[in-house]
Amino acid sequence: MLFSDSRKRKIVCTSTAETVGRVSGFVVDPALRRVVAVTVKKSQDGDTLAWPQISGFGPDAVTIAAPDDIGSADEAVAALLGKRHAVLRKQVLSSDGDRLGEVTDVDFDPETGAIEAVLVDGAPVDGARLIGVGSFAVVVKAAPDTP
């Protein structure tokens, strides 16, 4: 599933069947290479939904068990919030120090949150190559030499 497809997806509570918010963004932990939380807007309860609280990340809605699953970010997630750790639209450097392009989208597994691929100018780069996301660039492992 792509970041671009799932932004603005509604978040529905399965116990009350009400829409409790919308996905506004993704929090990525580059060390784990996975989405650890989504940021939420239009919710009364908070602005962050940690990945383990998500019951299902479906094509039409994100489901959660209780409305108060949405809360404020815990320490680990808060450290990864903000522009400095954003992935989208950031330039991509290889570990060899070459600019590869810009992140146009991210493909993730809706079951686990694992990053499957980072799309660099539209071309997929295997998520396993992701090394770091920092203030200057997203760093990916350099492709092995193709002779």
Partner 1 sequence: MTRLMRTSELTKRPVVTMAGDDIAQVKDIVYAADGGSVHGFTLAGRGLFAGPLSSVLPWSSVSALGADAVMVADESILADEGGFSGEGSSSDPARRDVLGSRVLTDTGTDLGQVVDVIVQVQGARDQCDVVGYEIESSEALDNAGQRVLMPLPDTMAASGEHLIVPASATKFVRHDLAGFGAAVDDFRQHLEGRD
**CA 123 centroid distance within chain:** 18
Beta-bridge partner residues of 132: 139
- Under the criterion CB under 8 A, does residue 98 sit at the interface with partner 1? yes
Chain position carrying tokens 């193709």: 146
Choices 55-63, 69-77, 86-94, 105-113 (CB under 8 A): range interacting with partner 1: 86-94
Binding status of residue 97 toward partner 1 by CB under 8 A: yes
Contacts to partner 1 from residues 5-64, by CB under 8 A:
30
Q: Report the residue from 44, 96, 111, 122 that binds partner 1 according to the rule CB under 8 A.
A: 96
- Cβ 44 to partner 1, closest distance in Å? 35
Q: Which of 8, 72, 99, 121 binds partner 1 (CB under 8 A)?
A: 99
Residue 88 phi/psi, 5-degree rounding, is -60, 140
Distance linking the first and last C-alpha atoms of the chain: 33
Helical ranges in the chain per DSSP H: 3-6, 75-78
At position 57, the amino acid (one-letter code) is: F
Nearer to partner 1, 54 or 86 (CB): 86
Q: Restricting to residues 116-145, which ones interact with partner 1 according to CB under 8 A?
A: 131-139, 142, 145
> What's the rounded Cα separation, in Å, for the pair 51 and 135?
24
Residues lying near partner 1 in the complex (CB under 8 A): 30, 90, 93-99, 131-139, 142, 145
